[in-house]
Amino acid sequence: MRDRDTKFGEVFTETVIALGMEPILTAYRSPWQNGYAEGLIGSIRRECLDHVIVFNETHLRGIPKEYIHYYNTQRTHLGINKDSPETREVQAEGAIDKIAVANGLHHFYFRKAA
């Protein structure tokens, strides 16, 4: 998502498309929508990129992709009753185990089937 500021010209849009993403414009005269985009970008920066030394472009592209997958499928969000955007099944029984995510910056905890 991006706002309609003139600093985002045609080159920016072409670059976004070339990276395999679809640009989504905020509604006209709706600055409140920027908060959603800035919140996600801030989360990626604070919870991921601020804690990593980037070695090359491939590394830089891979870490946010992995984090975004974690953010949407495993990370809890208070605004949606401690669930993730892609709802997952609650596991009530079994031993707790973990999987490292985003090069070990975060962990996904789950219960092993008994």
In a domain, 64, yes or no: no
Report the mean per-residue pLDDT for the chain: 81
Q: Residue 51, SS3?
A: helix
Flag whether pLDDT at 2 surpasses 70.
no
Neighbours of 93 (CB within 10 A): 8
What range defines the domain where residue 19 resides? Answer: 1-47
Flag whether pLDDT at 25 surpasses 70.
yes
In a domain, 24, yes or no: yes
Distances 78 to 2, 83, 84, 85, 107 between C-alpha atoms, Å = 24, 7, 9, 11, 18
- Provide, rounded to the nearest whole percent, the portion of the chain with pLDDT above 90: 2
In a domain, 91, yes or no: no
CA 18 from centre of chain: 19
Q: What is the mean pLDDT of residues 26-42?
A: 75
Structural contact between residues 24 and 3, judged by C-beta atoms closer than 8 angstroms: no
Q: What is the mean pLDDT of residues 21-49?
A: 78
Task: Give how many domains the chain has, as a whole number.
Answer: 1
Q: What is the model's pTM?
A: 0.57
